[in-house]
């Protein structure tokens, strides 16, 4: 089954992976996202689509383009009214998603979170995604090793949104815990990639003695790399890094413009919510809802080779599965 899936041969995967008695699906799931057009989630959508094809299900991708919580909760309400068979939502706010999650369960609709899990009171069944604070700590430790001392800039698209705020909190905690003479400033860059580049570039122009620039989201990371290239900052000894796997970031590492990026397995953040919601539905809640940490993997020039190949797993292809 896995070999067939990796080869993109869904019909063979279905034949190999499903017993005669396993229901062939028909469920429709709704993914509620906070930045629906962001390229980071291209592999997430591929993962959801692949799991749906394996199980004979379907999904809708909806939410907000700009981390607008009201738009996201409205999308959940629409999914409930439309009698979705399950909802996967990025919980980027501490309280706003509690009421629609409760309403979904009252209507018999299971809910899981993915990518962000920011509410301590939300009754979602499971979270599929990275441990965000721990990953931020890992980045902070890497910053300490790279910089050692001096001023650094930390960049975050939308402060307070709980898909990325815990990362920057973790990075700051690790820098402080190191005891090294590193100072930092935090800059909000915005939810749109063009805006993020402008914000990073403007910040650097006012902080040209900086020793490093690091970001906790994809768009800000791309903005850093573009700024580093434009102003020749590697020749000035500036270190930099961030998150996620789009082609501009991977190429930045290849070309010596970036020290690292962090892989949080976006494909799995689409694949496993479908699997878990499906199993929950067919078992009547007996199985299928278990939190999963999709992990933290530092991508550097030392392990870059597979990331240079087009693949569905990082969103550089929608058809290339087998990277062997």
**Domain 132-263 class in CATH:** alpha beta
Burial class (CB in 10 A: 0-12, 13-18, 19+), 247: middle
Q: What is the pLDDT of residue 18?
A: 55
For residues 220 and 232, give the distance between their C-alpha atoms in angstroms, rounded to a whole number: 18
What strands lie across the sheet with 150-156, from one edge to the other? 182-188, 150-156, 212-215, 239-243, 260-263, 297-299
- Please tell me what DSSP assigns to residue 240: E
Q: What is the pLDDT of residue 194?
A: 80
Domain segments of the chain as ranges:
2-130+265-293, 132-263
Contact 203, 195 (CB under 8 A): no
* Same fold: 2-130+265-293 with 132-263: yes
Q: What is the pLDDT of residue 195?
A: 86
* Helix (H), strand (E), coil (C) string for 70-123: HHHHHHHHHHHHCCCCEEEEEECCCCCCHHHHHHHHHCCCCEEEEEEECCCCCC
Q: What are phi and psi of 145, to 5 degrees?
A: -65, -40
CA dihedral 308, 313, 319, 323 (to 10 degrees): 50
pLDDT tens, N- to C-terminus, the chain (324 residues): 555 554 545 455 555 555 567 777 799 999 999 999 988 899 999 999 999 999 999 999 999 999 999 999 999 999 999 999 999 999 999 999 999 999 999 999 999 999 999 999 999 999 999 999 999 999 999 999 999 999 999 999 999 988 899 999 999 999 999 999 999 999 999 977 788 889 999 999 999 999 999 999 999 999 999 999 999 999 999 999 999 998 999 999 999 999 999 999 999 999 999 999 999 999 999 987 899 999 999 999 999 999 999 999 988 888 888 777
Q: What are phi and psi of 302, to 5 degrees?
A: -70, -30
For residues 259 and 225, give the distance between their C-alpha atoms in angstroms, rounded to a whole number: 10
Q: How far is CA 5 from CA 16, 276, 310, 318, in A?
A: 10, 18, 16, 13
CATH of domain 2-130+265-293: 3.40.50.2300
Global pTM reads: 0.85
């Amino acid at each position: 089954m896995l070999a067939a899936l990796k080869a993109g041969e869904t019909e063979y995967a279905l034949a190999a992976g499903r017993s005669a008695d396993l229901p062939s699906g028909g469920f429709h799931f709704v993914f509620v996202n906070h930045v629906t057009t962001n390229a980071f989630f291209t592999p997430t959508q591929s993962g959801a689509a692949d799991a749906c094809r394996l199980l004979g299900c379907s999904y809708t991708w909806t939410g907000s383009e700009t981390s607008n919580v009201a738009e996201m909760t409205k999308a959940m309400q629409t999914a409930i009214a439309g009698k979705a068979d399950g909802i996967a939502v990025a919980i980027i706010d501490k309280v706003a998603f509690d009421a629609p999650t409760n309403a979904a369960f009252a209507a018999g609709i299971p809910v899981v979170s993915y990518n962000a899990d920011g509410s301590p009171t939300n009754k979602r069944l499971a979270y599929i995604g990275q441990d965000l604070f721990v990953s931020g700590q890992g980045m902070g430790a890497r910053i300490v090793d790279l910089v050692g001392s001096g001023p650094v800039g930390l960049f975050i698209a939308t402060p307070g949104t709980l898909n990325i705020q815990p990362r920057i909190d973790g990075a700051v905690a690790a820098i402080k815990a190191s005891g090294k003479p590193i100072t930092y400033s935090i800059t909000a860059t915005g939810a749109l990639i063009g805006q993020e580049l402008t914000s990073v570039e403007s910040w650097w122009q006012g902080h040209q003695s900086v020793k490093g620039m690091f970001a906790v989201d994809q768009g800000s990371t791309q903005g850093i790399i573009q700024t580093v290239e434009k102003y020749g900052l590697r020749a000035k000894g500036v270190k930099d890094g961030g998150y996620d796997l789009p082609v501009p970031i991977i190429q930045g590492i290849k070309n010596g413009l970036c020290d690292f990026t962090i892989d949080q397995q976006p494909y799995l953040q689409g694949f496993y919510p479908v699997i878990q919601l499906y199993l929950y539905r067919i078992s009547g809640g007996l199985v299928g809802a278990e939190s999963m940490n999709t992990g933290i993997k530092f991508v550097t020039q030392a392990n870059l080779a597979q990331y240079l190949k087009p693949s569905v797993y990082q969103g550089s292809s929608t058809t290339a599965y087998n990277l062997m």
